[in-house]
Amino acid sequence: MITLYGIKTCDSCRKARRALDTQGTAYRYHDLREDGLDAERLDAFLARSDWKTLLNTRSTTWRGLDEADKRDLDAASARALLLAHPTLLKRPVLETPDRLLVGFQAEAYRAL
């Protein structure tokens, strides 16, 4: 099963949903604001992608964090931030049985 993780107000997530809908790809949508992000799912993402790729340092959530939270980041502190603030996850995240795509790339979506 393909799952798309994102938030409703994200333009990249809208593009991803539109691309999947247009090509008739079945998927489940997981809203990070409404449905959250549990430790098990985050650990699965971290096993398939680097934390630096998954952490969105350009988001409104990131800009709202205390400077102390942003300093001296490593894998463990990034994981803790992502669990506390699921909208820090770079979006969209498309999870298939054999791939994890972070961010929207039209070519990669067409290849599904």
**What does the pLDDT average to over 50-63?**
95
Active-site hit among 7, 10, 20, 37: 10
Which domain does 23 fall in, by range?
3-110
Does the active-site annotation cover 13? no
Per-residue model confidence (pLDDT) at position 95:
97
Q: Dihedral, CA atoms, 80, 103, 35, 99, nearest 10 degrees?
A: -90
Cα distance from N-terminal residue to C-terminal residue, the chain: 12
Q: What is the CATH number of the domain that holds 78?
A: 3.40.30.10
The pTM of the full predicted model, rounded to 2 decimals, is: 0.93
Domain count, the chain: 1
pLDDT over 90 at 112, yes or no: no
Helices (H), the chain: 11-22, 32-35, 39-48, 51-54, 60-64, 67-70, 75-84, 106-110
Model confidence band, residue 66 (pLDDT cutoffs 50, 70, 90)? very high
pLDDT of 106: 94
Rounded CA separation 4/95 (Å)? 6
pLDDT (tens digit, 9 = 90+) per residue, 2-19? 999 999 999 999 999 999
